[in-house]
Structure 1
Protein backbone atom coordinates (compact mmCIF):
# COMPACT_ATOMS: atom_id res chain seq x y z
CA UNK A 1 0.00 0.00 0.00
CA UNK A 2 2.79 2.43 0.97
CA UNK A 3 4.63 1.55 -2.24
CA UNK A 4 1.52 2.35 -4.32
CA UNK A 5 1.09 5.69 -2.55
CA UNK A 6 4.75 6.55 -3.19
CA UNK A 7 4.47 5.64 -6.89
CA UNK A 8 1.31 7.74 -7.24
CA UNK A 9 3.01 10.71 -5.56
CA UNK A 10 6.08 10.45 -7.81
CA UNK A 11 3.85 10.28 -10.90
CA UNK A 12 2.04 13.43 -9.72
CA UNK A 13 5.34 15.27 -9.30
CA UNK A 14 6.46 14.22 -12.77
CA UNK A 15 3.23 15.41 -14.42
CA UNK A 16 3.38 18.72 -12.53
CA UNK A 17 6.99 19.34 -13.59
CA UNK A 18 6.26 18.64 -17.27
CA UNK A 19 3.16 20.85 -17.19
CA UNK A 20 5.01 23.77 -15.60
CA UNK A 21 7.89 23.42 -18.05
CA UNK A 22 5.51 23.54 -21.01
CA UNK A 23 3.76 26.60 -19.63
CA UNK A 24 7.04 28.45 -19.14
CA UNK A 25 8.18 27.55 -22.64
CA UNK A 26 4.87 28.73 -24.03
CA UNK A 27 5.27 32.08 -22.27
CA UNK A 28 8.73 32.48 -23.76
CA UNK A 29 7.45 31.73 -27.23
CA UNK A 30 4.56 34.17 -26.91
CA UNK A 31 6.70 37.08 -25.72
CA UNK A 32 9.37 38.08 -28.21
CA UNK A 33 11.95 40.60 -27.06
CA UNK A 34 14.67 42.03 -29.26
CA UNK A 35 17.49 44.27 -28.04
CA UNK A 36 19.69 46.15 -30.47
CA UNK A 37 22.89 47.28 -28.82
CA UNK A 38 23.65 49.77 -31.56
CA UNK A 39 27.44 49.50 -31.24
CA UNK A 40 27.19 45.81 -32.21
CA UNK A 41 26.06 46.89 -35.69
CA UNK A 42 29.60 48.23 -36.14
CA UNK A 43 31.60 45.71 -34.10
CA UNK A 44 29.92 42.65 -35.62
CA UNK A 45 29.29 41.86 -39.26
CA UNK A 46 25.70 41.17 -40.28
CA UNK A 47 24.80 40.15 -43.82
CA UNK A 48 21.45 41.91 -43.65
CA UNK A 49 22.67 45.28 -42.32
CA UNK A 50 23.85 48.03 -44.66
CA UNK A 51 25.91 50.83 -43.12
CA UNK A 52 25.58 54.33 -44.53
CA UNK A 53 28.31 56.88 -43.90
CA UNK A 54 30.69 56.32 -41.00
CA UNK A 55 28.75 56.11 -37.73
CA UNK A 56 31.25 56.07 -34.87
CA UNK A 57 31.38 54.28 -31.52
CA UNK A 58 31.48 56.70 -28.59
CA UNK A 59 31.42 56.23 -24.84
CA UNK A 60 28.26 56.85 -22.82
CA UNK A 61 27.19 56.46 -19.16
CA UNK A 62 25.66 53.10 -20.16
CA UNK A 63 28.37 51.61 -22.37
CA UNK A 64 29.40 51.95 -26.00
CA UNK A 65 26.96 54.02 -28.04
CA UNK A 66 26.98 55.15 -31.67
CA UNK A 67 27.22 58.71 -32.96
CA UNK A 68 25.23 59.68 -36.07
CA UNK A 69 26.37 62.85 -37.84
CA UNK A 70 22.95 63.97 -39.13
CA UNK A 71 24.10 63.93 -42.75
CA UNK A 72 24.77 60.39 -43.96
CA UNK A 73 25.17 58.06 -40.96
CA UNK A 74 22.57 55.30 -40.63
CA UNK A 75 21.90 51.58 -40.57
CA UNK A 76 19.49 49.86 -42.97
CA UNK A 77 18.26 46.39 -41.97
CA UNK A 78 16.67 43.83 -44.24
CA UNK A 79 14.40 42.69 -41.46
CA UNK A 80 11.15 43.74 -39.81
CA UNK A 81 11.21 42.83 -36.09
CA UNK A 82 7.58 43.89 -35.56
CA UNK A 83 6.23 41.73 -38.39
CA UNK A 84 2.74 40.36 -37.59
CA UNK A 85 2.81 41.73 -34.03
CA UNK A 86 -0.66 42.74 -32.86
CA UNK A 87 0.88 45.06 -30.29
CA UNK A 88 4.40 46.02 -29.29
CA UNK A 89 6.57 48.47 -27.37
CA UNK A 90 9.69 50.05 -28.79
CA UNK A 91 12.13 51.70 -26.39
CA UNK A 92 15.27 53.68 -27.06
CA UNK A 93 18.07 55.23 -24.99
CA UNK A 94 19.53 58.16 -26.93
CA UNK A 95 21.08 61.61 -26.76
CA UNK A 96 20.05 64.12 -29.46
CA UNK A 97 22.70 66.67 -30.40
CA UNK A 98 22.17 70.38 -29.85
CA UNK A 99 22.75 71.28 -33.52
CA UNK A 100 20.67 68.80 -35.49
CA UNK A 101 17.99 69.62 -38.07
CA UNK A 102 14.44 70.46 -37.04
CA UNK A 103 12.85 67.23 -38.35
CA UNK A 104 14.71 64.03 -37.49
CA UNK A 105 13.60 60.41 -38.05
CA UNK A 106 15.45 58.18 -35.60
CA UNK A 107 13.88 54.74 -36.15
CA UNK A 108 11.68 53.59 -39.05
CA UNK A 109 10.03 50.14 -39.15
CA UNK A 110 7.78 48.93 -41.98
CA UNK A 111 7.22 50.28 -45.45
CA UNK A 112 8.51 53.58 -46.83
CA UNK A 113 5.05 55.11 -47.21
CA UNK A 114 2.62 52.28 -46.38
CA UNK A 115 2.09 50.55 -43.04
CA UNK A 116 4.87 51.78 -40.78
CA UNK A 117 5.87 53.26 -37.45
CA UNK A 118 8.53 55.81 -36.62
CA UNK A 119 10.30 57.32 -33.66
CA UNK A 120 10.92 60.96 -34.53
CA UNK A 121 12.00 64.17 -32.84
CA UNK A 122 11.67 67.86 -33.60
CA UNK A 123 14.59 70.05 -32.48
CA UNK A 124 14.23 73.77 -31.95
CA UNK A 125 15.78 76.49 -29.77
CA UNK A 126 17.95 74.07 -27.78
CA UNK A 127 15.07 71.70 -27.07
CA UNK A 128 13.36 68.73 -28.63
CA UNK A 129 9.92 67.14 -28.52
CA UNK A 130 8.86 63.59 -29.27
CA UNK A 131 6.86 62.34 -32.23
CA UNK A 132 5.57 58.77 -32.31
CA UNK A 133 3.98 58.03 -35.69
CA UNK A 134 2.03 55.01 -36.90
CA UNK A 135 0.29 54.24 -40.19
CA UNK A 136 -1.97 51.20 -40.38
CA UNK A 137 -4.17 50.79 -43.43
CA UNK A 138 -6.21 53.98 -43.79
CA UNK A 139 -5.38 55.06 -40.23
CA UNK A 140 -2.53 57.45 -39.53
CA UNK A 141 -1.66 59.22 -36.29
CA UNK A 142 1.24 61.30 -35.00
CA UNK A 143 1.53 61.74 -31.24
CA UNK A 144 3.24 65.11 -31.06
CA UNK A 145 2.97 68.20 -28.88
CA UNK A 146 5.42 71.09 -29.31
CA UNK A 147 4.79 72.15 -25.72
CA UNK A 148 6.29 68.93 -24.30
CA UNK A 149 9.92 69.98 -24.72
CA UNK A 150 13.18 68.59 -23.31
CA UNK A 151 16.73 70.04 -23.42
CA UNK A 152 18.95 68.77 -26.21
CA UNK A 153 22.36 67.28 -25.47
CA UNK A 154 21.21 64.95 -22.67
CA UNK A 155 20.47 61.23 -22.39
CA UNK A 156 16.84 60.10 -22.47
CA UNK A 157 14.71 56.99 -22.48
CA UNK A 158 11.72 57.09 -24.81
CA UNK A 159 9.02 54.51 -25.40
CA UNK A 160 6.33 54.16 -28.04
CA UNK A 161 3.57 51.73 -27.07
CA UNK A 162 1.45 50.45 -29.96
CA UNK A 163 -1.64 48.54 -28.85
CA UNK A 164 -4.63 47.22 -30.78
CA UNK A 165 -6.72 50.23 -29.87
CA UNK A 166 -4.30 52.98 -28.83
CA UNK A 167 -0.92 54.66 -29.19
CA UNK A 168 1.08 56.07 -26.26
CA UNK A 169 4.41 57.85 -25.87
CA UNK A 170 6.67 58.13 -22.83
CA UNK A 171 9.81 60.11 -22.02
CA UNK A 172 11.90 58.94 -19.06
CA UNK A 173 9.03 56.71 -17.94
CA UNK A 174 6.48 59.52 -17.86
CA UNK A 175 3.39 59.32 -20.08
CA UNK A 176 3.29 62.21 -22.53
CA UNK A 177 0.51 61.45 -25.00
CA UNK A 178 -2.05 58.72 -25.63
CA UNK A 179 -4.77 58.51 -28.28
CA UNK A 180 -7.26 55.90 -29.54
CA UNK A 181 -6.03 54.14 -32.67
CA UNK A 182 -7.11 51.06 -34.60
CA UNK A 183 -3.90 49.15 -35.34
CA UNK A 184 -3.45 46.12 -37.56
CA UNK A 185 -0.15 44.19 -37.70
CA UNK A 186 2.51 45.36 -40.13
CA UNK A 187 3.35 42.47 -42.43
CA UNK A 188 5.96 43.84 -44.85
CA UNK A 189 8.87 46.25 -44.89
CA UNK A 190 12.35 46.80 -43.51
CA UNK A 191 14.03 48.87 -40.80
CA UNK A 192 16.34 51.84 -40.51
CA UNK A 193 18.14 53.53 -37.62
CA UNK A 194 19.38 57.09 -37.98
CA UNK A 195 17.14 58.19 -40.84
CA UNK A 196 13.87 57.45 -42.59
CA UNK A 197 13.98 54.47 -44.97
CA UNK A 198 13.97 56.81 -47.99
CA UNK A 199 17.07 58.60 -46.61
CA UNK A 200 15.32 61.79 -45.56
CA UNK A 201 15.41 63.61 -42.19
CA UNK A 202 18.71 62.34 -40.75
CA UNK A 203 19.22 62.04 -36.99
CA UNK A 204 22.15 63.75 -35.28
CA UNK A 205 23.22 62.42 -31.90
CA UNK A 206 24.02 59.24 -30.02
CA UNK A 207 22.02 56.04 -29.62
CA UNK A 208 22.88 53.41 -27.03
CA UNK A 209 20.17 50.77 -27.27
CA UNK A 210 16.83 49.97 -28.88
CA UNK A 211 14.50 47.33 -27.46
CA UNK A 212 11.35 45.90 -29.02
CA UNK A 213 8.87 43.86 -26.98
CA UNK A 214 5.90 42.04 -28.48
CA UNK A 215 3.42 43.36 -25.94
CA UNK A 216 2.10 46.52 -24.38
CA UNK A 217 4.53 47.41 -21.60
CA UNK A 218 3.93 49.53 -18.53
CA UNK A 219 6.62 51.96 -17.31
CA UNK A 220 7.77 49.55 -14.59
CA UNK A 221 8.61 47.05 -17.36
CA UNK A 222 10.76 49.48 -19.35
CA UNK A 223 14.53 49.13 -19.71
CA UNK A 224 16.53 50.29 -16.73
CA UNK A 225 17.56 53.90 -17.22
CA UNK A 226 19.36 56.24 -14.84
CA UNK A 227 19.34 59.98 -15.42
Structure 2
Protein backbone atom coordinates (compact mmCIF):
# COMPACT_ATOMS: atom_id res chain seq x y z
CA UNK A 1 0.00 0.00 0.00
CA UNK A 2 2.83 2.39 0.74
CA UNK A 3 4.41 1.71 -2.66
CA UNK A 4 1.09 2.44 -4.36
CA UNK A 5 0.63 5.68 -2.42
CA UNK A 6 4.11 6.83 -3.50
CA UNK A 7 3.78 6.00 -7.17
CA UNK A 8 0.19 7.11 -7.74
CA UNK A 9 1.03 10.86 -7.68
CA UNK A 10 4.04 10.22 -9.92
CA UNK A 11 1.93 8.33 -12.45
CA UNK A 12 -0.66 11.13 -12.37
CA UNK A 13 2.07 13.68 -13.11
CA UNK A 14 3.41 11.60 -16.01
CA UNK A 15 -0.03 11.13 -17.57
CA UNK A 16 -0.80 14.82 -17.12
CA UNK A 17 2.45 15.80 -18.84
CA UNK A 18 1.80 13.41 -21.74
CA UNK A 19 -1.75 14.69 -22.10
CA UNK A 20 -0.60 18.31 -22.21
CA UNK A 21 2.09 17.47 -24.77
CA UNK A 22 -0.44 15.68 -26.97
CA UNK A 23 -2.80 18.66 -26.76
CA UNK A 24 0.03 21.04 -27.70
CA UNK A 25 0.95 18.89 -30.70
CA UNK A 26 -2.69 18.80 -31.77
CA UNK A 27 -2.95 22.58 -31.60
CA UNK A 28 0.26 23.04 -33.58
CA UNK A 29 -1.22 20.91 -36.39
CA UNK A 30 -4.39 22.97 -36.70
CA UNK A 31 -5.09 25.62 -39.32
CA UNK A 32 -5.39 29.24 -38.26
CA UNK A 33 -8.40 30.79 -39.96
CA UNK A 34 -9.30 34.46 -39.76
CA UNK A 35 -12.57 35.71 -41.20
CA UNK A 36 -11.43 39.31 -40.98
CA UNK A 37 -14.94 40.68 -40.37
CA UNK A 38 -15.20 38.40 -37.33
CA UNK A 39 -12.04 39.94 -35.89
CA UNK A 40 -13.91 43.26 -35.83
CA UNK A 41 -17.29 41.92 -34.77
CA UNK A 42 -15.86 39.78 -31.97
CA UNK A 43 -12.98 42.00 -30.88
CA UNK A 44 -11.00 40.77 -27.86
CA UNK A 45 -8.22 42.28 -25.78
CA UNK A 46 -5.80 40.45 -28.11
CA UNK A 47 -6.88 42.68 -31.02
CA UNK A 48 -5.97 46.33 -31.59
CA UNK A 49 -7.87 48.33 -34.23
CA UNK A 50 -6.23 51.29 -35.94
CA UNK A 51 -8.28 53.85 -37.86
CA UNK A 52 -11.76 52.75 -38.91
CA UNK A 53 -11.70 49.54 -40.98
CA UNK A 54 -15.27 48.91 -42.14
CA UNK A 55 -17.29 45.75 -42.68
CA UNK A 56 -18.53 45.51 -46.27
CA UNK A 57 -20.48 42.83 -48.16
CA UNK A 58 -18.73 40.60 -50.68
CA UNK A 59 -19.56 37.61 -52.86
CA UNK A 60 -18.23 35.36 -50.10
CA UNK A 61 -19.64 37.00 -46.98
CA UNK A 62 -18.73 40.00 -44.86
CA UNK A 63 -15.28 41.41 -45.59
CA UNK A 64 -13.32 44.33 -44.18
CA UNK A 65 -12.38 47.43 -46.18
CA UNK A 66 -9.10 49.24 -45.42
CA UNK A 67 -8.68 52.86 -46.57
CA UNK A 68 -4.98 52.73 -47.43
CA UNK A 69 -4.20 55.54 -45.00
CA UNK A 70 -4.58 54.48 -41.36
CA UNK A 71 -6.81 51.36 -41.18
CA UNK A 72 -5.28 48.18 -39.76
CA UNK A 73 -5.62 45.35 -37.25
CA UNK A 74 -2.91 44.14 -34.88
CA UNK A 75 -3.24 40.69 -33.31
CA UNK A 76 -1.27 39.32 -30.39
CA UNK A 77 -0.98 36.02 -32.23
CA UNK A 78 1.95 34.20 -33.84
CA UNK A 79 0.51 31.29 -35.86
CA UNK A 80 3.84 30.54 -37.61
CA UNK A 81 5.78 29.83 -34.41
CA UNK A 82 8.06 26.83 -34.87
CA UNK A 83 6.72 25.87 -38.31
CA UNK A 84 9.31 24.83 -40.90
CA UNK A 85 6.64 24.43 -43.61
CA UNK A 86 3.38 26.30 -44.08
CA UNK A 87 0.91 27.74 -46.57
CA UNK A 88 -0.57 31.22 -46.11
CA UNK A 89 -3.69 31.99 -48.15
CA UNK A 90 -5.73 35.16 -48.50
CA UNK A 91 -8.92 36.17 -50.34
CA UNK A 92 -8.80 39.90 -50.98
CA UNK A 93 -9.72 42.74 -53.33
CA UNK A 94 -7.08 45.45 -53.97
CA UNK A 95 -8.51 48.84 -54.96
CA UNK A 96 -7.22 51.75 -57.01
CA UNK A 97 -5.62 54.97 -55.72
CA UNK A 98 -3.45 53.21 -53.17
CA UNK A 99 0.30 53.66 -52.70
CA UNK A 100 2.80 51.70 -54.79
CA UNK A 101 4.07 49.48 -51.96
CA UNK A 102 1.33 47.87 -49.86
CA UNK A 103 1.96 45.42 -47.03
CA UNK A 104 -1.22 43.48 -46.38
CA UNK A 105 -0.20 40.81 -43.86
CA UNK A 106 2.87 40.57 -41.63
CA UNK A 107 3.55 37.75 -39.17
CA UNK A 108 6.61 37.63 -36.94
CA UNK A 109 8.96 40.31 -35.73
CA UNK A 110 8.90 43.97 -36.79
CA UNK A 111 12.28 43.94 -38.53
CA UNK A 112 13.69 40.51 -37.66
CA UNK A 113 12.39 37.10 -38.72
CA UNK A 114 9.08 37.66 -40.50
CA UNK A 115 6.75 36.72 -43.35
CA UNK A 116 4.70 39.18 -45.42
CA UNK A 117 2.06 39.14 -48.12
CA UNK A 118 2.44 42.31 -50.16
CA UNK A 119 1.39 43.90 -53.44
CA UNK A 120 2.86 46.54 -55.69
CA UNK A 121 0.51 48.81 -57.66
CA UNK A 122 1.23 50.05 -61.19
CA UNK A 123 -1.48 52.23 -62.76
CA UNK A 124 -4.63 50.08 -62.62
CA UNK A 125 -2.82 46.82 -61.93
CA UNK A 126 -1.00 45.05 -59.12
CA UNK A 127 1.53 42.26 -58.75
CA UNK A 128 2.09 39.87 -55.87
CA UNK A 129 5.06 39.91 -53.50
CA UNK A 130 5.72 37.12 -51.02
CA UNK A 131 8.48 38.06 -48.59
CA UNK A 132 10.42 36.17 -45.92
CA UNK A 133 13.28 37.16 -43.62
CA UNK A 134 14.91 34.27 -41.75
CA UNK A 135 18.16 34.40 -39.77
CA UNK A 136 19.14 37.65 -41.49
CA UNK A 137 18.52 36.38 -45.01
CA UNK A 138 15.75 38.17 -46.92
CA UNK A 139 14.00 37.12 -50.11
CA UNK A 140 11.07 38.66 -51.98
CA UNK A 141 9.25 36.81 -54.75
CA UNK A 142 7.91 39.54 -57.03
CA UNK A 143 7.99 40.64 -60.66
CA UNK A 144 6.10 43.42 -62.41
CA UNK A 145 5.76 41.14 -65.43
CA UNK A 146 2.90 39.29 -63.67
CA UNK A 147 0.21 41.97 -63.49
CA UNK A 148 -3.43 41.65 -62.43
CA UNK A 149 -6.24 44.25 -62.69
CA UNK A 150 -7.28 46.12 -59.54
CA UNK A 151 -10.88 46.09 -58.32
CA UNK A 152 -11.42 42.32 -58.48
CA UNK A 153 -11.41 39.54 -55.88
CA UNK A 154 -8.37 37.28 -55.83
CA UNK A 155 -6.96 34.30 -53.99
CA UNK A 156 -3.22 34.37 -53.25
CA UNK A 157 -1.08 31.71 -51.61
CA UNK A 158 2.48 31.74 -50.30
CA UNK A 159 4.00 28.30 -49.73
CA UNK A 160 7.11 28.04 -47.56
CA UNK A 161 9.21 24.89 -47.09
CA UNK A 162 12.61 24.38 -45.42
CA UNK A 163 14.27 24.91 -48.82
CA UNK A 164 11.94 26.91 -51.08
CA UNK A 165 9.34 29.65 -51.50
CA UNK A 166 6.45 29.60 -54.01
CA UNK A 167 3.72 32.11 -54.82
CA UNK A 168 0.33 31.55 -56.43
CA UNK A 169 -2.46 33.82 -57.69
CA UNK A 170 -5.87 32.24 -58.25
CA UNK A 171 -4.32 28.78 -58.01
CA UNK A 172 -1.71 29.41 -60.71
CA UNK A 173 1.96 29.24 -59.74
CA UNK A 174 3.79 32.51 -60.33
CA UNK A 175 7.28 32.37 -58.81
CA UNK A 176 9.43 29.71 -57.16
CA UNK A 177 12.90 30.09 -55.65
CA UNK A 178 15.21 28.05 -53.48
CA UNK A 179 15.61 29.45 -49.98
CA UNK A 180 16.83 28.06 -46.66
CA UNK A 181 14.02 28.81 -44.23
CA UNK A 182 14.36 28.64 -40.45
CA UNK A 183 11.18 28.75 -38.33
CA UNK A 184 9.99 32.10 -37.00
CA UNK A 185 9.88 31.83 -33.22
CA UNK A 186 8.37 35.08 -31.96
CA UNK A 187 6.36 38.16 -32.88
CA UNK A 188 2.74 39.00 -33.64
CA UNK A 189 0.49 39.80 -36.62
CA UNK A 190 -0.58 42.92 -38.48
CA UNK A 191 -3.29 43.07 -41.13
CA UNK A 192 -3.59 46.06 -43.46
CA UNK A 193 -0.15 47.54 -42.88
CA UNK A 194 3.46 46.68 -42.20
CA UNK A 195 4.04 46.24 -38.49
CA UNK A 196 5.95 49.54 -38.21
CA UNK A 197 2.86 51.32 -39.60
CA UNK A 198 4.05 52.23 -43.09
CA UNK A 199 2.85 51.15 -46.58
CA UNK A 200 -0.87 50.75 -45.87
CA UNK A 201 -3.19 48.49 -47.88
CA UNK A 202 -6.17 49.88 -49.78
CA UNK A 203 -8.86 47.35 -50.49
CA UNK A 204 -10.87 44.62 -48.78
CA UNK A 205 -9.96 41.31 -47.18
CA UNK A 206 -12.39 38.45 -46.68
CA UNK A 207 -10.30 35.64 -45.26
CA UNK A 208 -6.78 34.63 -44.24
CA UNK A 209 -5.78 31.04 -43.54
CA UNK A 210 -2.48 29.57 -42.35
CA UNK A 211 -1.97 25.82 -42.77
CA UNK A 212 1.00 24.10 -41.05
CA UNK A 213 1.76 22.09 -44.18
CA UNK A 214 2.59 22.44 -47.86
CA UNK A 215 -0.68 22.63 -49.78
CA UNK A 216 -1.19 22.02 -53.48
CA UNK A 217 -3.48 24.24 -55.59
CA UNK A 218 -6.32 21.70 -55.46
CA UNK A 219 -6.24 22.06 -51.65
CA UNK A 220 -6.40 25.86 -51.61
CA UNK A 221 -9.38 27.86 -50.42
CA UNK A 222 -12.02 28.19 -53.11
CA UNK A 223 -12.48 31.62 -54.64
Q: Shorter chain as normaliser: what TM range?
A: 0.7 to 0.9
CA RMSD in angstroms, aligned pairs only? 1.5
1:41 CA drift (Å) = 1.2
Looking at structure 2, the residues matched to 30 and 49 of structure 1 have their Cα atoms a distance apart, in angstroms, of: 21
1:76 CA drift (Å) = 0.5
1:224 CA drift (Å) = 1.2
How is 1:95-174 mapped onto 2 (pairs within 5 angstroms)? Answer: 95-174=93-172
Per-residue displacement from partner, 1:32-55 (whole Å, max 9, x unpaired)?
Answer: 201100001111021111000010
Looking at structure 2, the residues matched to 50 and 97 of structure 1 have their Cα atoms a distance apart, in angstroms, of: 24
1:31 CA drift (Å) = 2.7
TM-score in terms of structure 2 length: 0.87
Contact 2:113 2:136 survives alignment (8 Å): no
Give the aligned partner of residue 222 of structure 2: 224
Going from structure 1 to structure 2, the CA distance change for 1:107 and 1:30 (only over 3 Å counts) comes to closer
Going from structure 1 to structure 2, the CA distance change for 1:45 and 1:26 (only over 3 Å counts) comes to closer
Looking at structure 1, the residues matched to 108 and 220 of structure 2 have their Cα atoms a distance apart, in angstroms, of: 23
Match among 64, 67, 75 for residue 65 of structure 2:
67
Going from structure 1 to structure 2, the CA distance change for 1:207 and 1:187 (only over 3 Å counts) comes to same
1:138 CA drift (Å) = 2.6
Looking at structure 1, the residues matched to 24 and 79 of structure 2 have their Cα atoms a distance apart, in angstroms, of: 20
Is the counterpart of residue 81 in structure 1 residue 82 in structure 2? no
Name structure 1 gaps, 5 residues minimum.
1-24
Aligned partner of residue 57 in structure 2, secondary structure: strand
Structure 1 window deviating more from structure 2 (26-35 vs 191-200): it is 26-35
Is the counterpart of residue 91 in structure 1 residue 89 in structure 2? yes
Match among 10, 24, 42 for residue 40 of structure 2:
42
Looking at structure 2, the residues matched to 198 and 29 of structure 1 have their Cα atoms a distance apart, in angstroms, of: 29
Match among 177, 183, 191 for residue 179 of structure 1:
177
Aligned partner of residue 218 in structure 2, secondary structure: helix
Larger Rg: 1
TM-score in terms of structure 1 length: 0.86
Looking at structure 1, the residues matched to 179 and 103 of structure 2 have their Cα atoms a distance apart, in angstroms, of: 21
Aligned partner of residue 114 in structure 1, secondary structure: coil
Looking at structure 2, the residues matched to 40 and 29 of structure 1 have their Cα atoms a distance apart, in angstroms, of: 21
Aligned partner of residue 220 in structure 1, secondary structure: helix
Per-residue displacement from partner, 1:76-113 (whole Å, max 9, x unpaired)?
Answer: 01111111111110000000001111000000000111
Name structure 2 gaps, 5 residues minimum.
1-22
Looking at structure 1, the residues matched to 41 and 91 of structure 2 have their Cα atoms a distance apart, in angstroms, of: 19
Going from structure 1 to structure 2, the CA distance change for 1:26 and 1:116 (only over 3 Å counts) comes to closer
